[in-house]
Structure 1
Amino acid sequence: MRILVDKDIPHIHRLFGLHNEITVCEGRVISAKDIRNIDILIVRSVTKVNQKLLDDDSIKFVGTATSGIDHIDQNYLKKYGINFVYAPGNNAIAVVEYVFAALFWLAERDRFFLRDKIIGIVGVGHIGSLLHERLHSFGIHTLLCDPPLAEKNISQYKQSWKSFEKLVSEADILTFHTPLIYDGNYPTWHMVDIDVLESLPSNCILINTSRGSVIDNNALLKVLENGKKLNVVLDVWETEPELSLPLLSYVDIGTAHIAGYTLESKTRSIIQIYNEYCKFFNIFNAVNLFELESSVIYYLKVQKKIDEMLLNKLIKFVYDIRCDDFLLRRFATVQGGFDKIRRCYLARREWSSLCVETYVDYNNEMLINLGISVCYI
């Protein structure tokens, strides 16, 4: 079969190369011309898959190596019988670790303890629920908001749901993990508008790793320019790949939509797409997927009880978020700089790549709950 793949998706030839003709292409510029006579299309979030792209083609199977699917016209694919698969939850660990890295960096800079803060999580799907679990395991209080899940009343958190208004009024930190929804009962487009921003208490921390338009970026810039004291972490931007340079100058941490970019998350995502491809086409899965899994590469010994300061050091040993902030500020004014960062991003590792040897039982339990490997003696 003929397969067209975004060039930034890893392991493609290893997984799909046997008996297939593979073409790789820059994801943001894939056009209808590129996919003529193509059987399988595999993309990331930078490619809009809709009628304009697919009209009058031979596509049988579309996969996106992402958890978000607002770039996919699912109704069109369903109408024309095109099989569609995506990779929900595979970037959850990466995004949660990004949020932790941002929080610990701010806590170190501003000299506060996370255990003294209330964190409001907006969107409690794969990412939000994992974030809640890891924060809870470290003794950090959370407030959960997810109206669609609350309405279904099927989640394990059904006794814990809070309104968005309550999070805005009570949380010290707000972190967003929602899809981008424009209409219906629970739209998320500009859910953080000028009114919400002006009502936030001073020094509130805003973190957005979901979709840029969940926060009205123009309104955010306006309140910051007017002197509102907010700490802002943005991995996603409303006009990306173009950036509001004035807004970037105000945010505390700015990165190029790489929160979910770890070696492990990329591998998990394409493995899931590959498995679905094998099922759909009734192909025997002959690839040793275990060999694609990542392994431990860092080893440390800790001989005392791990507190917030020490955990921060462990986290930075694997991933220092300041490096990605520096990259965006360095290349923000360069033509195509945002995409260049993403395209050339040296995928960071997840905390599981760090193995800690410790004789303190409390440490072992906490490290395991946080996804850090433990070396048993």
Structure 2
Amino acid sequence: MFEVLMPAALSNPLVAQEVGAKLTLHKLWETPDADAALKELAPRIRGILAGAPGHRRVGGEFLGQFPNLEIVSSFGVGYDHIDAKWAAAHGVVVTNTPDVLNEEVADTAMGLLLSTLRQLPQAERYLRAGKWQQANFPLSDSLQGRTMGILGLGRIGKAIARRAEAFGVKIAYHGRSRQPDVPYPYYATVLEMAAAVDILMVIAPGGPSTKHLVDAAVLRALGPRGVLINVARGSLVDEDALVAALQKGEIMSAGLDVFAHEPQVPQALLDMDHVVLLPHVGSASHRTRDAMAHLVAENMLSYAAGKGPLTPVAETPWPRLEKAD
């Protein structure tokens, strides 16, 4: 029997419905004594359904409670909330939900960019406040003639690039290495790229290796006409440095869908009217979230059926390694 633990309710009920229809699913949050339930269930659990980043930390200490654990299926393309290195060392495969949200996040990124540059939310507030009757809304900046530097030219980064090119925007990129067959200029460091562009689009993975990759120096290099758009993880941007850069006019504006300590947003950002802030809605459409939920369930069901996971993460490629002693 393949028994699966769902430590907390996921935002999309399809995961529990699809997995629960074929496997034994334990919903930990429904038990009156979670600690007692964990102690009793731990030896039998072979799979865990994990929520999106920000849901709960799934570290080695938590995973280590399950001696027969084989797979963690996670909701979301980012998985920095899961200790994938621990999982790899202990023969546990981790899966995420790539590809199914690429287009939705890219759409959101471009919408956020246009909203930030053209001040569309501010213009709507202006109209709703009745101010149009007294005077026209002030002129905004423009997307035309700009160059976008993409930090993280992965699947979503490429989808953003295609959209930006359709708007006539020039593209450059930075990543761990130059990609073959990519026509855009490559910069070896974020700092060098920031100095060469006036839009910095952040869409790289989160985690310790990318923490504060966009720091005060990068923001200064972006310059006073510079616009920062972050649809990746709040951890990639030094939030204090960003606030300071916006307050000093070192960059023009920012459009943010993610923050360092979600759902908390710094009051200094909330007080600024020249930035656009969204509550982490990059992939938040019914269509895309249902597709993500289905992939979470299918990863678990495929593995339980002996067919292997569909989308294992890089740290835990299939076939999985033997468990460490």
Q: Structure 1 length normalisation: TM-score?
A: 0.65
Given the alignment, which residue of 160, 168, 171 partners 1:139?
Answer: 168
Residue 3 of structure 1 is matched in structure 2 by 4
SS of 1:168 mapped into structure 2: helix
Residue 315 of structure 1 is matched in structure 2 by none
* Distance in structure 2 (CA, Å) of the matches to 1:200 and 1:16: 47
Give the residue type in structure 2 aligned to 1:104. Answer: L
Given the alignment, which residue of 157, 165, 168 partners 1:128?
Answer: 157
Give the residue type in structure 2 aligned to 1:257. Answer: H
Residue 72 of structure 1 is matched in structure 2 by 82
* Distance in structure 2 (CA, Å) of the matches to 1:119 and 1:253: 18
Instruction: Please state how far the C-alpha of 1:127 moved relative to its aligned partner.
Output: 0.9
* Distance in structure 2 (CA, Å) of the matches to 1:133 and 1:92: 12
Given the alignment, which residue of 36, 41, 49 partners 1:42?
Answer: 49
Instruction: Please state how far the C-alpha of 1:4 moved relative to its aligned partner.
Output: 3.1
Query: What do the CA deviations read for 1:206-252 (whole angstroms, capped 9, x no partner)?
Result: 01111112111111122333343521111111122333212332261
Given the alignment, which residue of 97, 101, 122 partners 1:91?
Answer: 101
Residue 177 of structure 2 is matched in structure 1 by 149
Give the residue type in structure 2 aligned to 1:99. Answer: A
Residue 289 of structure 2 is aligned to residue 266 of structure 1? yes
Instruction: Please state how far the C-alpha of 1:276 moved relative to its aligned partner.
Output: 2.4
Q: Structure 2 length normalisation: TM-score?
A: 0.74
* Distance in structure 1 (CA, Å) of the matches to 2:218 and 2:172: 17
Give the residue type in structure 2 aligned to 1:149. Answer: S
Residue 236 of structure 1 is matched in structure 2 by 258
Query: Contact between 1:117 and 1:173, CA under 8 Å: does it hold in 2?
Result: yes
Given the alignment, which residue of 140, 162, 172 partners 2:198?
Answer: 172
Instruction: Please state how far the C-alpha of 1:129 moved relative to its aligned partner.
Output: 0.9
Change (3 A) 1:207 1:159: closer
Change (3 A) 1:83 1:223: closer
* Distance in structure 1 (CA, Å) of the matches to 2:108 and 2:225: 20
Instruction: Please state how far the C-alpha of 1:181 moved relative to its aligned partner.
Output: 4.4
Residue 268 of structure 2 is matched in structure 1 by 246
SS of 2:109 mapped into structure 1: helix
SS of 1:206 mapped into structure 2: strand
Q: CA RMSD in A?
A: 2.6
Q: Mind listing any 5+ residue stretches in structure 1 that lack a counterpart? A: 285-377
Change (3 A) 1:42 1:9: farther
Give the residue type in structure 2 aligned to 1:79. Answer: A
* Distance in structure 2 (CA, Å) of the matches to 1:33 and 1:66: 29
Residue 187 of structure 2 is aligned to residue 162 of structure 1? yes
Matches within 5 A, 1:1-377: 1-5=2-6, 6-24=9-27, 35-36=38-39, 37=41, 38-43=45-50, 44-46=52-54, 47-57=56-66, 58-109=68-119, 110-146=139-175, 148-150=176-178, 153=179, 155-157=180-182, 160-163=185-188, 164-182=190-208, 187-250=209-272, 252-282=275-305
Change (3 A) 1:32 1:126: farther
* Distance in structure 1 (CA, Å) of the matches to 2:183 and 2:114: 29
* Distance in structure 1 (CA, Å) of the matches to 2:220 and 2:142: 25
Instruction: Please state how far the C-alpha of 1:35 moved relative to its aligned partner.
Output: 4.6
SS of 1:66 mapped into structure 2: coil
Query: What do the CA deviations read for 1:268-290 (whole angstroms, capped 9, x no partner)?
Result: 22222333223222279xxxxxx
Q: Mind listing any 5+ residue stretches in structure 2 that lack a counterpart? A: 120-138, 308-325
Query: Contact between 1:32 and 1:54, CA under 8 Å: does it hold in 2?
Result: no
